[in-house]
Amino acid sequence: MAGDFKAEFQEFWTRTVSKVRAYMFCACQNWADADDMTQDCYLRALRGWGQFNGSASREAWLFGIARRTSVDWFRRKKAAVENLEELSRISPAEPPDEKIEKVWDAVGDLNADQNQVIYMRFAAGLSYAQIAQALEIPVGTVRSRLHRGLKDIRGRIGRSDDEP
């Protein structure tokens, strides 16, 4: 029984971990923290494995947990971060590519609702239906948030391109 569960969970973990990790990276912009958050997310999923009611897909359920994990992480981080040095530590360490950097900045400037949809779509590769289940919103809302988000990104990229 325990062996079956372990195998099932391992299979689920193998299938989904790259998506969750990418999503967490988008949220915190730091691989070390993304790994911690991913671990935390899977431990929560493990504890709540039996509570899944089957109304959504298991993956959408996991991303609901991932979203709550990231929110909690930011809440804890906000309490812990006291100075600008700490804030600068969580900025990306890799040398920035200008074009990519602009898009990242634009995505970062979106509101949280649009952010979540963009990250789940582009980092985790979730379908509209899965995003809707994870965020507990209608599919139509997912479409409109994605559309508004991309329009905002276009506006911001355009503005920064126009700047001298």
Burial degree of 60 (CB within 10 A; 0-12, 13-18, 19+): buried
Quick one: which H or E segment has residue 120?
none
State the Cα angle at 90 between 133 and 120, rounded to 5°: 15
Of residues 82 and 127, the one with the C-beta less far from other proteins: 127
| Beta carbon of residue 20, minimum distance to other proteins (angstroms, whole number) | 9
Site string for other proteins, 121-140 (x = CB under 8 A): xxx---xx------------
Cα–Cα distance for residue pair 63/126, rounded to 1 Å: 9
59: nearest Cα among 149, 148, 131: 131
User: Which tokens hold the place of 84?
Assistant: 């600008």
Of residues 147 and 159, the one with the C-beta less far from other proteins: 147
115: nearest Cα among 87, 94, 88, 146: 146
Of residues 56 and 126, the one with the C-beta less far from other proteins: 126
Other beta carbons within 10 Å of 87: 11
The tally of CA atoms less than 13 A away on the side-chain side of residue 161 is 9
Which one of 17-25, 55-63, 66-74, 75-83 is the stretch in contact with other proteins (CB under 8 A)?
A: 17-25
Which one of 20-28, 52-60, 63-71, 79-87 is the stretch in contact with other proteins (CB under 8 A)?
A: 20-28
| Beta carbon of residue 79, minimum distance to other proteins (angstroms, whole number) | 24
Among residues 12, 35, 57, 74, which is the contact residue for other proteins, using CB under 8 A?
35
Positions that interact with other proteins (CB under 8 A): 2, 5-6, 9, 13, 17-18, 21-23, 25-26, 31, 35, 38-39, 42-43, 46-47, 92, 94, 97, 99-100, 103-104, 107, 118-119, 121-123, 127-128, 143-144, 146-147, 150-151, 153-154, 157
